[in-house]
Structure 1
Amino acid sequence: MDRLLIVAALTAVIHFINTLAYAIRISGVRTRRLATAFSIFNVIFLVASTANTIQAPILASIVEMVIKTGQTQTGARVTDAQLVNSAAYQALLVSLSDNIRIVILAATAGTIIAAALIPAFVNIFNRAIFLFEETGSVPRMLGSIIISPRRFMKAGGQIYLAGRSSLKLAAKKKMAIPKTFLFLNIIVTGVYTTGVLSAIYAGALFPGFRSTATLLSAVVNGVATILAATVVEPTAAAITDQALREERGDEDVKQMVLYLTLTRILGTVFAQLIFLPSAYLVKYVAALLA
């Protein structure tokens, strides 16, 4: 349970930070310093990358414990087929599945919390951008924040959460962004959310080739990566650049961020639906390679 809570917390942090990336687009447009905004955000993104690095081995160790427990209960010399089909191991698989769904739920929670904090972080990023220009380097900027955090937060402007009024205002505005890339954002987020989790669970379904199944997470994420790189990210970048060139209003970027955030939340929910089918797909591919 302790390991599960650690994985859930790390997952929430990863999705929290990834969702805050949307705030960077608003901040970059407001300050007219989009490249600087993304550069500063990369410092925060290192936290998510570190959390992601730690998360996978812990998840893998949980699966190893499930397999070891199953072998102990059914007998160490049983074949993989006998192990997987045994009643004791099936119960362990159900428990593992439930635990992984809790991890996916943590992804949804992290995304929702970040969505509520986007307005606050827009102001924080605005101040960080100007502070970076004053200090000239990220270490000096971070040092200034650590030395005088109250002054930094005060200078960042009013800190507030996303309110119903702002959401209604953005929602009522005529849709000025493509609907297709919002739909694809649900697919991309869903696949990314469950990619590694499904692959690791597939390892429990196919114990003899669990390493192969786990490494196939790259295949699961491959489709999402292609969609993100060819449709979602270029479209979001184009809308942001148009706002920078004043071909669009800032409200279009706000609307885009609102809908991207909502579809990201829906994407984590979609991950719950495709978790098991993706796991069995990975298992099938691993069986072909075995």
Structure 2
Amino acid sequence: MSTQVIIVLILTIIITIISTLAYSVRIVGVRTGRIAVSFAVFNIFALVSRTANSVQAPLLAKTIESTIKAGNPQSLLSTFRWILFSTTIATIIGSALMPTFIKVFEKVVESFSINRSIPKLLMHAFSKSGIEQFKSSVTKPRKENFAHFKSFKMMPKKIILLNTIAFSISTVGVLASLYAGCLNPELRTTCSTLSAVINGSATILMVIFIDPFISILTDDVINGECSQLQFDRCIIFIVGGLIVGTILAQFLLIPAAQVISFIAKSI
């Protein structure tokens, strides 16, 4: 495994953990009542997670060029499978870290509301008291959280399904376009360009359907029309859908590459 691939795997794990933890920011917003501050941070996380996949292409460029010269595009499949597998593992890790992150971020939001300064917040985070607060916030996932999956009947199935599909598309988009370019070296520039279209469609799904629904649900909690427990359950199911989405991406890799290759030839 080349250095470039190892770097991609590490970045993929870090980025995916961040994007998974981003969903817990909404829970913090509801619990602390600091909706605007929490959502502002969520938007930063979401922007990073939804655009970071584009980093994979330049880092994998050398590996792809070597594969094309060798005339063996099938050898690239195992590399892409490992990248997708790392996404699944990172999503699971991110979901396991959510209880700890929620406690830490609650204190961050409260501290920011007092200091109203990012530099002061960072100084406090690395101070002795800040480190002690972080240690006291470390929390293991509770068994009760897994029990929430028994109440699937009351969950918004369409939203969870759309979020799962959108995440699987955004996860596989860049890799599928790169693989399509290996299958059709003469059209690899066109294929790589189509990755932006694919990721854009996934982002549109999230912006039109997922984000507004969670925002409305947040307002319902604030207005007392929805319980905190139901809101937490919805977020848990959405995060569970992310894990399923990364697994689904494994099955979409080759079909998506074939579709991209067909579109590239048809343009």
Shift of 1:158: 3.9
What TM-score comes out, normalization by structure 2 length? 0.91
Shift of 1:109: 0.6
Pick from 124, 145, 170 the counterpart of residue 192 of structure 1: 170
Pick from 186, 201, 204 the counterpart of residue 223 of structure 1: 201
Pick from 157, 168, 180 the counterpart of residue 179 of structure 1: 157
Partner of 1:39: 40
Pick from 140, 143, 147 the counterpart of residue 164 of structure 1: 143
Change over 3 Å in CA distance of 1:7–1:44 after alignment to 2: same
Q: Is the 8 A contact 1:116 1:161 kept in 2?
A: yes
**Unpaired runs of 5+ in structure 2?**
none
**Superposed counterparts of 1:208-219, under 5 Å:** 208-219=186-197
> Equivalent pairs: percent with the same residue?
34
Pick from 109, 114, 125 the counterpart of residue 94 of structure 2: 114
C-alpha offsets along residues 247-278 of structure 1, whole Å, 9 cap, x if unaligned?
Answer: 11110111011100111100000000111111
**Superposed counterparts of 1:13-32, under 5 Å:** 13-32=14-33
Q: Is the 8 A contact 1:93 1:204 kept in 2?
A: yes
Q: Is the 8 A contact 1:132 1:138 kept in 2?
A: yes
Residue 106 (structure 2) pairs with residue 126 (structure 1): yes
Q: Which amino acid aligns with 1:167?
A: F
User: Alignment partner of 2:73: what SS?
Assistant: helix
What TM-score comes out, normalization by structure 1 length? 0.85
Work out which of the two has the higher radius of gyration on C-alpha atoms and give 1 or 2: 1
Partner of 2:213: 235
Residue 119 (structure 2) pairs with residue 139 (structure 1): yes
Pick from 105, 108, 132 the counterpart of residue 151 of structure 1: 132
Q: Is the 8 A contact 2:19 2:45 kept in 1?
A: no
- Aligned pair count reads 265
Q: Distance between the aligned counterparts of 2:206 and 2:50, measured in 1?
A: 18
Q: Which amino acid aligns with 2:60?
A: L
Shift of 1:57: 0.7
Shift of 1:48: 5.0
Q: Which amino acid aligns with 2:132?
A: R
Change over 3 Å in CA distance of 1:107–1:119 after alignment to 2: same
C-alpha offsets along residues 210-260 of structure 1, whole Å, 9 cap, x if unaligned?
Answer: 111101012222332232122222112211221122211110111011100
Q: Is the 8 A contact 2:23 2:235 kept in 1?
A: yes
Q: Distance between the aligned counterparts of 1:244 and 1:206, measured in 2?
A: 53
Q: Distance between the aligned counterparts of 1:246 and 1:175, measured in 2?
A: 21
Shift of 1:20: 0.6
Q: Is the 8 A contact 2:67 2:75 kept in 1?
A: no
Q: Distance between the aligned counterparts of 1:185 and 1:209, measured in 2?
A: 31
Q: Which amino acid aligns with 2:21?
A: L
Give the aligned CA root-mean-square deviation in angstroms: 2.1
Q: Which amino acid aligns with 1:285?
A: I
Shift of 1:43: 5.8
Q: Distance between the aligned counterparts of 2:206 and 2:59, measured in 1?
A: 27
Shift of 1:159: 2.3
Change over 3 Å in CA distance of 1:222–1:40 after alignment to 2: closer
**Superposed counterparts of 1:64-83, under 5 Å:** 64-68=65-69, 70=70
Task: After the TM superposition, list the runs of 4 or more consecutive aligned residues in structure 1 that deviate by more than 4 angstroms.
Answer: 41-53
Change over 3 Å in CA distance of 1:225–1:166 after alignment to 2: closer
User: Alignment partner of 1:216: what SS?
Assistant: helix
Q: Distance between the aligned counterparts of 2:123 and 2:62, measured in 1?
A: 38
